[in-house]
Amino acid sequence: MNEFAVIQRFFTTQKISRSDVFCGIGDDAAIITPPVNQQIIMTTDTLVSNVHFPADTSPYDIGFKSLAVNLSDLAAMGATPAWITMALTLPEIHETWLTEFSRGFFTLATEHQAQLIGGDLTRGPLTITIQAHGLIPRGQAIQRNTAKPGDLIYVTNTIGDAALALAVLQKKFKLTDDDQQTVFTKLHRPTPQIKIGEQLRGVASAAIDISDGLAADLGHILEKSAVGAEINVDLIPLSAALRHLEKDKAIQFALSGGDDYELCFTVPVDKKNHVPKNCTCIGTITNTNELDLRFSNGIKYDLHQTGYQHF
């Protein structure tokens, strides 16, 4: 099966056809008619086998996650997904693998009305680069550099589960079946927080998605906004799986572990009643330029390790 046949069979099957896509897959490039009064949000992320996921990860999950991590960046800007391209590098054509990979990818894409409009298929070590494009009404995108002292700091859902899942895969921890199921789902099929991101338009003063660990990613907001933060680590929302661990260890996963793809965002106090459900306030932006982590009893939390770095 040559590359054209692979594209035809596995990647032209999506059941949506957006009215703003004038020409999708099948030409030198796609043609988009952008809606008026909207800005376009663009992001790209690569997943490399054995770096971003274990080589034996199910192809469904690889397809799902490679899109999810990109949609998560759109969510952090408050954008609504629109168009996707995929650059897929494969060591070989394996039909079962491609069937499952594309099923995982399209399940998530179609859930968000995001249309695959083009891509490239090459031979080489397994690498998936997705580019996601989203839309947002002009001027409403939520950036990193606009947090202000006094703003409240929130995170979505629970934090640290993906890092715990990774530790389980590395046989550093053993969990009950239920807890293992929970954290593996968070690692392999993260939910991009698109809906919450949209609800944060006009509410959040800054936002980021948590891909490198809460401390590191909140650190990006602090650095870009030239502010500091006080976090009460006891307030960080933890899943039952993490609450079953020793407290210090659980907080370390939450602060330093990556791959959560939850959102961390800041909200001016007078807008706190507009914060969506499933978001937890964990602290306050300060004018100190420092990230001050404390337990409820006032004792400092010692951050052993910050986020994942590639080099």
Scanning residues 14 to 33, which ones bind its own copies (CB under 8 A)?
22-23, 26-33
90-98, 172-180, 237-245, 289-297 -> range binding its own copies (CB under 8 A): 90-98
Binding mask 198-217 for its own copies (x = CB under 8 A): ---------xxx--------
Scanning residues 29 to 68, which ones bind its own copies (CB under 8 A)?
29-34, 36, 38-46, 48-52
Q: Which residues contact 303 (CB under 8 A, 6 or more apart)?
A: 215, 255, 256, 291, 293
With CB under 8 A, what is the number of residues at the site for its own copies? Answer: 71
Beta bridge pairs of residue 153 = 266, 283
Task: Give the phi and the psi of residue 107 in degrees, each rounded to 5.
Answer: -55, -50
Contact by Cβ (8 Å): 229, 284:
yes
Q: Least distance (Å) from its own copies to the CB of residue 55?
A: 12
Using CA atoms, how far residue 139 sits from 78, 117, 201, 276, in Å, is 11, 26, 10, 21
Scanning residues 106 to 165, which ones bind its own copies (CB under 8 A)?
117-125, 127, 129, 131-134, 136, 138, 141, 143-145
Contact by Cβ (8 Å): 267, 205:
yes
H helices present in 170-260, as ranges: 177-188, 194-199, 214-225, 240-243, 247-256
By CB under 8 A, residue 276 contacts its own copies:
no
Q: Least distance (Å) from its own copies to the CB of residue 134?
A: 7
Helix (H) / strand (E) containing 294: strand 291-294
Q: Please pick, from the candidates 57, 87, 107, 185, the single residue that binds its own copies as defined by CB under 8 A.
A: 87
88-96, 171-179, 225-233, 282-290 -> range binding its own copies (CB under 8 A): 88-96
